[in-house]
Copies of this chain bind each other. A is one copy, B any other.
């Protein structure tokens, strides 16, 4: 029984900046790609076409330990740190071979989009929680 979902990726040219390494904001995109791949692995999608649920971020943080460079292959490891009534806290490690590239967290809140365009925090649907927990 796995405790982490692993998402493999390769660094693309447009992910880099003039310092020759992956731009730090791109690392946050890698986290999100891994999160969404994990949801797909659980039979879910974070953004159902025509649906009214959303999962905006409450927070995101990364510590950067080592750079990533063009064409390098790496993995994003995702773990669900806490699954609460309304929020999910993910824990991430980005690794290239034996090297830890970055570690961090992201927290999302389940919302229902209101007719006026605003968002209201709601309880995470039971089937979402169940399917995510069944992955591990």
Seen from chain A, the residues whose Cβ lies within 8 Å of a Cβ on chain B are 12-14, 16-21, 23-26, 28-29, 32-33, 36, 40, 45-47, 49-50, 54, 56-64, 67, 69-71, 117, 119
Contacts and interface: CB of A to CB of B under 8 A. Distances in A.
Given A13-B36, A18-B18, 15 more contacts: A12-B33, A12-B36, A13-B47, A14-B32, A18-B21, A19-B56, A21-B56, A24-B60, A36-B71, A47-B71, A49-B70, A56-B64, A59-B61, A60-B64, A61-B62
Nearest to A71: B45
A77 to B, nearest CB: 18
Main secondary structure of the interface of A (DSSP, over half): mixed
Contacts of A50: 117
Given A69-B49, A71-B45, A14 B25 contact: yes
Contacts of A63: 58-59
Nearest to A37: B10
A88 to B, nearest CB: 14
A133 B47 CA distance: 39
B17 A13 contact: yes
The 9 closest A-B pairs by CB, nearest first: A61-B61, A16-B18, A25-B28, A24-B57, A59-B63, A18-B20, A25-B25, A14-B29, A25-B29
